[in-house]
């Protein structure tokens, strides 16, 4: 081992090694940065997007009023409900399985609509009913 290091010292101290110009090794080295990119398409909302800026938060269940139910007793999947957003007067015509914001229409009954609400990783059931009509004498 000492012989090899002595030979290396002799080569480096030789006049031929002193004549060679020093090379700038920092200019030759390049660093490649790789960045992992994620794209959220289809499967749900982007978890990094602010909820305050997205339209996925609205309408809330408290903002909706059930105005009409067209119920088909023979084929329940053909039933349609009409909802009105009381904050901006927007109308929603929904069937079972439709999604409005975070609300999923689970079932349409003759006088009510059942929603599944997804909040903070939990699901709960909410029901909107038609306003009761008073009979005229």
In this predicted structure, the answer to whether residue 20 has a pLDDT above a threshold of 60 is no
- The closest alpha carbon to 130, from 59, 60, 64, belongs to 64
Q: What is the pLDDT of residue 41?
A: 64
Let me know if residue 69 belongs to a domain. Answer: yes
Residue 41 lies in a domain: no
- Torsion, Cα 18 22 25 28, to 10 degrees, reads -120
Residue 86 domain boundaries: 61-129
CATH number at residue 79: 2.30.30.830
Question: How are beta strands 91-94 and 99-100 bridged, if at all?
Answer: unpaired
29-65 tens-digit pLDDT: 778 888 887 766 666 666 776 665 555 567 888 889 9
Residue 85 lies in a domain: yes
pLDDT digits (tens, 9 = 90+) for 78-137: 999 999 999 888 999 999 999 988 889 999 999 999 999 887 778 899 999 998 776 555
Task: Identify the three-state secondary structure at position 78.
Answer: helix
Identify whether 75 is part of a domain. Answer: yes
Residue 97 domain-assigned (yes or no): yes
73 is a domain residue: yes
Cβ(67)–Cβ(83) below 8 Å: yes
Given this model, what pLDDT does residue 129 score? 92
- When divided into structural domains, the chain yields a total of 1
115 CB contacts (<8 Å, ≥6 apart)? Answer: 61, 103, 104, 105, 106, 125, 126, 127, 128
- pLDDT of residue 3 exceeding 50, the answer is no
Mean per-residue pLDDT for 62-70?
Answer: 92
């Amino acid at each position: 081992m000492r012989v090899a290091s002595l030979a290396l010292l002799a080569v480096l101290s030789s006049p031929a090694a002193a004549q060679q110009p020093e090379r700038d090794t920092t200019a030759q080295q390049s660093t490649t940065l790789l960045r992992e990119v994620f794209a959220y398409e289809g499967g749900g909302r982007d978890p990094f997007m602010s909820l305050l800026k997205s339209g996925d938060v609205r309408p809330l269940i408290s903002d909706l009023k059930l105005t009409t139910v067209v119920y088909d007793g023979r084929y329940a999947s053909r039933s349609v409900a009409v909802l009105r957003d009381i904050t901006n007067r927007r109308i929603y015509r929904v069937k079972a399985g439709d999604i409005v914001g975070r609300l999923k229409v689970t079932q349409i009954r003759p006088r009510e609509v059942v929603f599944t609400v997804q909040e903070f990783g939990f699901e709960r059931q909410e029901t909107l009913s038609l306003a009761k009509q008073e009979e005229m004498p």
